[in-house]
Amino acid sequence: MVEENYYADRDKENNLKIRKLLREELPKLCGEYFIGVQTRTTPLTRLGYAQDLCVFFDFLFKEVDDFASCDKDNFTYADLDRVTASHIEFFMDYLSFYTYGGREFSNTLKTKSRKLSTLKSFFKYYYNKDRISANPAAKVATPKIKDKPILRLEGDEVGKLLDLVDSDTDKNESSKRLISFREHTRKRDLAILTLFLGTGIRISELVGLNIADIDFKSKAFKVTRKGGAQTILYITDEIAAALQDYLLEREAEGLIEDRPALFLSLQKRRITVRAVENLVKKYASLITPLKNITPHKLRSTFGTGLYNQTNDIYVVAEILGHRDINTTKRHYAAISEQIKKEAAEKVQLRGKRDKKDE
């Protein structure tokens, strides 16, 4: 089997993208920052930082009169020291709607918060290095983001989704257009959705899986988490059967030995994140058209179901790979109205009283 390291290749690609942005779009002084944070961030995180900073400096040079004479080639530490909290607050408002690279963008509060987090890290680094006399980003309040209800599939919707993918024919008129396409992808798609719903792994973790990562004898598989750490997760007989059916189909087509990736595209290459997002949306929209179901929503479906079954937030956090238990609590430990009602009915202030005592 040909060796392939999806994560190493992804890191290499992201590092090349960062270098291109540093070379072509960002002020030269930014290079110091990216070297400084390299040991504690992943290439994917640093690429996000670089893209956020590109938008910030494009705004600074084009929208702020104080920096009208600056560009990426002549921007100095002295210029960086002239950036104020007001400039950053102006930038936060600008993010509501702006044009960058010939395209129009609008940002939600969550996206604005992420970009502000980038600026806080950026200015903190240079302040700690005594490159600037003050840290203006520290004076800007982070937008308050309201928690949204968890969007997920309900129990009957999970069954309907898997039945739709697994069916040989379609009685539903709206899904007939999928028949010819699905003849070539049915077993693969069923394996993907079953693995998502049965383990709660992230889309990047699923795309990065190799055949060699699956141990059917132990009903376990090795997954590479965010940051590169690896862990072992376990699968049910149902998940194992879906994966084995798909691999038997691949073996019959001669697509095993020279292609280590677990899930392949129709072009016989490792499936992409975008392709997985599209197939999830394609099937889920036929089952529940009012819900915008994404791979992350399938992860939420698993996490919520696991918490309801175990009532153990630490187990949920461990299996989902959350570094911060508060993340798990915030998303999966919300008590439903029904649970609160049932709990209230169990409370008896004076105990049961026999009618004869009244």
The residue annotated as part of the active site, out of 114, 225, 281, 296, is 296
The residue annotated as part of the active site, out of 202, 259, 270, 297, is 202
**Residue type at 308?**
N
DSSP state of 334: P
Nearest 10 degrees: Cα torsion 159, 160, 162, 165: 170
332 is catalytic: yes
87 is catalytic: no
The residue annotated as part of the active site, out of 187, 250, 270, 322, is 322
Cα distance between residue 195 and residue 75, in whole Å: 49
- By CB atoms closer than 10 A (0-12, 13-18, 19+), residue 111 is middle
- Nearest 5°: phi and psi at 137? -65, -30
The residue annotated as part of the active site, out of 126, 246, 283, 332, is 332
296 is catalytic: yes
The residue annotated as part of the active site, out of 226, 281, 282, 291, is 226
Sign of CA pseudo-dihedral 62, 67, 72, 73: positive
Q: Is 307 helix (H, G, I), strand (E, B) or coil?
A: helix
226 is catalytic: yes
The residue annotated as part of the active site, out of 98, 299, 307, 331, is 299
202 is catalytic: yes
Cα distance between residue 131 and residue 127, in whole Å: 6
- Nearest 5°: phi and psi at 91? -60, -40
Between the alpha carbon of residue 317 and those of residues 154, 195, 310, the distances in Å are 21, 18, 12
- By CB atoms closer than 10 A (0-12, 13-18, 19+), residue 45 is middle
Tokens found for residue 280: 């999830």
DSSP state of 240: H
Residues with a known catalytic role: 202, 226, 296, 299, 322, 332
